[in-house]
Structure 1
Amino acid sequence: MDLDKLRLARSLYYQCFGELFIFSFSKQRLASLNDCLKVMKENLFDESLIDSFDILLENSKTKLNLFFNEYDNLFLSFKNSIPTTFSYLEEGFENSRALICVREILMKSKIRRNENFFKDSEDNIGFCFFLMSEFLKQEELLAKELFEKVINQSIDEFIILILEHQEAKLYKEIAYILGAFIEFERSCFKLSKNTKTISKKVQNDLSRSEFLRREANKKRRVGEKS
């Protein structure tokens, strides 16, 4: 296995996720999404994700407005919006432990947040994905620290909130890919899933983690049958 090639492929995945989960007024927002998804599909690590990539690729060619509208409905609506910072996901309020941790990690690097482009805080999920993309190119130890101390703590909660949301269609496919990728990253960093107890229940009184596990297995079985 070419570890450098694998590291760059992982960096590309994080870059694409960063663009999908960051808010921006840029006219070039998601302009490279289709090309990025094509390369991601070429570097597939889970065959069960092919259908998800195909759905996203079909819509990313000429229907980017669908991604914009769905992003607004999921993350910017006044009702049932999904939190986009690790602080809120982890503790239920902004500017908590996760933000401090990201800032401390940033201080160890040469990277700084461009406030003209990134309007949200440093623990914003999209921004952290962009950081992972850059760290994997430059400072892999910092990538592991950011993943272990921040992302791994509550990323499963974020994914399940997308899967549960009634407005999620394209982003549900993105969540399937992200969930599988996070598991792959855990194996790369030799880390296990965070085992904190989440009291909120979902369908049929299942825990969030169990619901996510069953959804992933269902997706994989469908992929195997096809």
Structure 2
Amino acid sequence: MENEILDARIFYYSLFSKFFVFSYESDRFEGVKEALNLLLNYAIDEKSAISLKNLAENFDEELLITEYDDIFHSPPSPVRTTVSYYNEGYESSLSCLEIKKILAKTKFRKDGVKFIENEDNFGFLFVLMSEFIKFGKSEDENYLEYAKEIFTKFLNPFIDEFIGAIYIHKSSNYYKDVVNLLMSFVGLERIFYGTSKLILHKEIKVKNNLSRSEKIRREVNKLKRSRGSRDGF
């Protein structure tokens, strides 16, 4: 049973890495549709079942590439993709350095050709989680501790704001279901690691004395009400 849980976690992290790692490779989304169809039979909850159905039925690689670029790369307001930004408000901060230190303890190194983003990019962290869990299961249990450190220190505190920013982005359509699925999975990971969603007290203020995360949360709720959404934020 324990191995089955680890295998499922590896599978999910690998899938999310496909959605969030930028690549120029023509096969960047290879296997995604098949993975979605497989997961349809093992949905985490009702919300993720709906999202999986939408994702599988509407999968279109060219449209997915376009939406990715519109959300994460197009001005004037691309969604930032690094822990550093959500933690300290700018790129390549202490968070990135801390993740590099974790990597230095391991046999893994970032391939600068394959992964052009920083080490604290959420997509790259999904890759690390998949690889650390896989290697920890089969070769060295210390890697399971590295995975735990990545999740508890870097993913858990900031993933909700990242997800919310994607959800409210004006170009987000297909990716709304991607982040709904991600939110359900993060909930399971929090149970697995015995942690919970963190309330950050030192949040970056953006307007009217609201923190950036609170501003996003309010916009998400407003959008959900307008859509009659059942999404779980």
Residues 1:144 and 2:148 aligned together:
yes
Structure 2 partner of 1:155: 159
**Pairing of 1:35-184 with structure 2 (within 5 A):** 35-60=34-59, 63-138=60-135, 139-184=143-188
Residue 192 of structure 2 aligns with an amino acid whose one-letter code is C
CA–CA separation in structure 1 for the residues paired with 2:80 and 2:38: 29
More helix by share: 1
Structure 1 partner of 2:13: 14
Decide which moves more: 106-115 or 73-82: 106-115
CA–CA separation in structure 2 for the residues paired with 1:41 and 1:151: 25
Unpaired runs of at least 5, structure 1: 222-226
CA–CA separation in structure 1 for the residues paired with 2:35 and 2:65: 17
Deviation at 1:47, TM superposition (A): 2.3
Residue 192 of structure 1 aligns with an amino acid whose one-letter code is S
CA–CA separation in structure 2 for the residues paired with 1:48 and 1:69: 25
Q: CA RMSD in A?
A: 2.2
Aligned residues: 214
Pair 1:196–1:132, CA change in 2 (3 A): same
The answer (yes or no) to whether the contact 1:22–1:127 under 8 Å persists in 2 is yes
Cα deviations by residue, 1:43-62 (Å, 9 ceiling, x for unpaired)? 322122212111110122xx
User: Tell me, what secondary structure is at the counterpart of 2:158?
Assistant: helix
Unpaired runs of at least 5, structure 2: 136-142
User: Tell me, what secondary structure is at the counterpart of 2:75?
Assistant: coil
CA–CA separation in structure 2 for the residues paired with 1:210 and 1:162: 14
Deviation at 1:220, TM superposition (A): 5.9
Pair 1:42–1:108, CA change in 2 (3 A): farther
Deviation at 1:174, TM superposition (A): 0.5
Pair 1:91–1:189, CA change in 2 (3 A): same
The answer (yes or no) to whether the contact 1:52–1:174 under 8 Å persists in 2 is yes
Pair 1:43–1:136, CA change in 2 (3 A): farther
CA–CA separation in structure 1 for the residues paired with 2:76 and 2:70: 9
User: Tell me, what secondary structure is at the counterpart of 1:219?
Assistant: coil
Residue 97 of structure 2 aligns with an amino acid whose one-letter code is I
Residue 195 of structure 2 aligns with an amino acid whose one-letter code is L
User: Tell me, what secondary structure is at the counterpart of 2:199?
Assistant: coil
Query: TM-score, normalized by length of structure 2?
Result: 0.84
User: Tell me, what secondary structure is at the counterpart of 2:114?
Assistant: coil
Deviation at 1:40, TM superposition (A): 2.7
The answer (yes or no) to whether the contact 2:168–2:216 under 8 Å persists in 1 is no
Deviation at 1:167, TM superposition (A): 0.8
Structure 2 partner of 1:224: none
User: Tell me, what secondary structure is at the counterpart of 2:230?
Assistant: helix
Pair 1:213–1:181, CA change in 2 (3 A): farther
Query: TM-score, normalized by length of structure 1?
Result: 0.87
Pair 1:220–1:172, CA change in 2 (3 A): closer
Residue 176 of structure 2 aligns with an amino acid whose one-letter code is K
